[in-house]
């Protein structure tokens, strides 16, 4: 199967991914199996997506039951799973209203449009600029790409949307200097995942919130990678004790289902009146029924607290690895979104881990990123540490 799948994929699919030479066939829990029957421990979870792991029975059951009842109607009508999921999200967050879409990039598109429309509706037509962060990542659509602070991702797609300015992440003075009466919103990730698993100072989000309040600008938090328990709290901003005006979710919200969500306070959300925005497939009965099963399972099984505890253990083990190997410069992250910054290229280590049965990845060239299912166990972490220790020793 691998002999045919890889060349067929390479000849038929757009060449947008540098794929590793493995064909995954099935998964269960924290494990994946390829077409040769080889088992791997998954420390990537589809890039922070499968928080409950693979083939979770609650998700399987919810999808099977809903598929036999109703898969799709358009958003000109009401459906029960959609409002039940919206009620759960509102009940567990700062938000008053939810907009469902199909991906994180679409959720960020909705956030950008909403932020601008809030001020357009007030007649403040000159207030449209959005300040985003250098090294940020918000998606690959033209709007979300315009808000992304990495030139290498933007290359080849200019001109982008106007009205986006960038300041260094975790530099409150730079943000203060950039804020003026033309800024409608500040947009950032609580932890920059694609930017290298970079965490700001403990009081950074509090200071950003205060500056936005002072300037009358909205605060948009992209929690697509950090949300749904990944950092040891349901949403990463909860560590800072602040709330945004708008928040975007995706990834672990659906545990692999194509769903994104934009959450907002009523003061902002009311700008999205009938016809202001829309989607054909966002929030369909099938997808929201599955996502509802995901969030209810996260709550019922205490997954967030488990991620906090296991993440603390994982980080301690990475710190110990750093003490043993000069190739490791820093340990980054929070909860089960962790990074190991190296003073060498990370891609060869990713390849060696895969060859030894561990799925990880590398961002920014030299940061190994770990975003396993939130149900990962200490024994699996210990196995990865032994693998990395051996690889770094050999190197």
* Residues taking part in catalysis: 137, 222, 251
Classify residue 178 by its DSSP letter: H
Whole-angstrom Cα distance, residue 241 to residue 244? Answer: 10
Please tell me what DSSP assigns to residue 23.
-
The enclosing H or E element of 225 equals none
Distance CA 290, CA 369 (A): 27
Are 357 and 380 in contact by the 8 Å Cβ rule? The answer is no
Q: What's the rounded Cα separation, in Å, for the pair 67 and 81?
A: 12
Tell me if 215 sits within 8 A of 209, measured CB to CB.
no
Is the CB of residue 72 less than 8 Å from the CB of residue 281?
yes
Give start and end residues of each alpha helix (H) in the chain: 2-12, 45-48, 57-67, 80-91, 104-121, 142-146, 151-154, 172-178, 204-215, 266-269, 285-300, 303-324, 347-355, 378-394
Is residue 264 within 8 Å of residue 118, measured between CB atoms? no
Cα dihedral sign, 212-213-216-222? positive
| Cβ neighbours, 10 Å, residue 329 | 14
How many angstroms separate the Cα of 204 from the Cα of each of 160, 208, 269?
A: 29, 6, 25
């Amino acid at each position: 199967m691998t002999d045919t799948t890889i060349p067929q994929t390479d000849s038929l699919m757009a060449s947008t991914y540098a794929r590793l030479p493995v064909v995954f066939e099935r998964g269960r829990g924290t494990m994946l199996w390829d077409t040769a029957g080889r088992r791997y421990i998954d420390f990537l979870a589809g890039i922070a997506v499968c928080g409950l792991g693979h083939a979770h029975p609650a998700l399987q059951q919810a999808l099977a039951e809903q598929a036999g009842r109703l898969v799709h109607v358009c958003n000109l009508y009401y459906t029960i799973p959609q409002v039940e999921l919206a009620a759960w999200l509102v009940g567990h967050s700062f938000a008053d209203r939810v907009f469902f879409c199909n991906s994180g990039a679409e959720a960020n598109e909705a956030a950008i449009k909403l932020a601008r429309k809030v001020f357009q509706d007030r007649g403040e037509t000159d207030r449209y600029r959005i300040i985003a962060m250098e090294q940020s990542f918000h998606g690959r659509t033209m709007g979300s790409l315009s808000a992304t602070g990495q030139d290498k991702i933007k290359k080849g797609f200019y001109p982008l949307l106007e009205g986006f300015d960038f300041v260094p992440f975790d530099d409150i003075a730079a943000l203060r200097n950039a804020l003026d009466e033309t800024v409608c919103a500040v947009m950032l990730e609580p932890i920059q995942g694609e930017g290298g698993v970079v965490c700001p100072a403990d009081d950074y989000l509090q200071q950003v919130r205060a500056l936005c309040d002072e300037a009358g600008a909205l605060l948009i938090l992209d929690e697509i990678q950090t949300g749904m328990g990944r950092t040891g709290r349901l949403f990463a901003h909860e560590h800072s004790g602040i709330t945004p005006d708008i928040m975007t979710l995706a990834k672990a919200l659906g545990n692999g289902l194509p769903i994104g969500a934009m959450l907002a306070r009523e003061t902002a959300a009311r700008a999205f009146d009938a016809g202001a925005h829309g989607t054909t497939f966002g929030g369909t009965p099938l997808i929201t029924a599955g996502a509802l099963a995901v969030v209810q399972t996260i709550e019922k099984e205490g997954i967030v607290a488990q991620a906090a505890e296991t993440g603390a253990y994982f980080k301690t083990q990475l710190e110990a690895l750093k003490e043993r190997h000069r190739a490791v410069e820093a340990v980054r992250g929070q909860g089960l979104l962790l990074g190991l910054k190296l003073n060498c290229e990370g891609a060869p280590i990713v390849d060696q881990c895969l060859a030894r049965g561990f799925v990880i990845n590398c961002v920014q060239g030299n940061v190994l990123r770990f975003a396993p299912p939130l149900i990962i166990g200490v024994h699996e972490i210990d196995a990865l540490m032994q693998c990395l220790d051996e690889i770094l020793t050999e190197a």
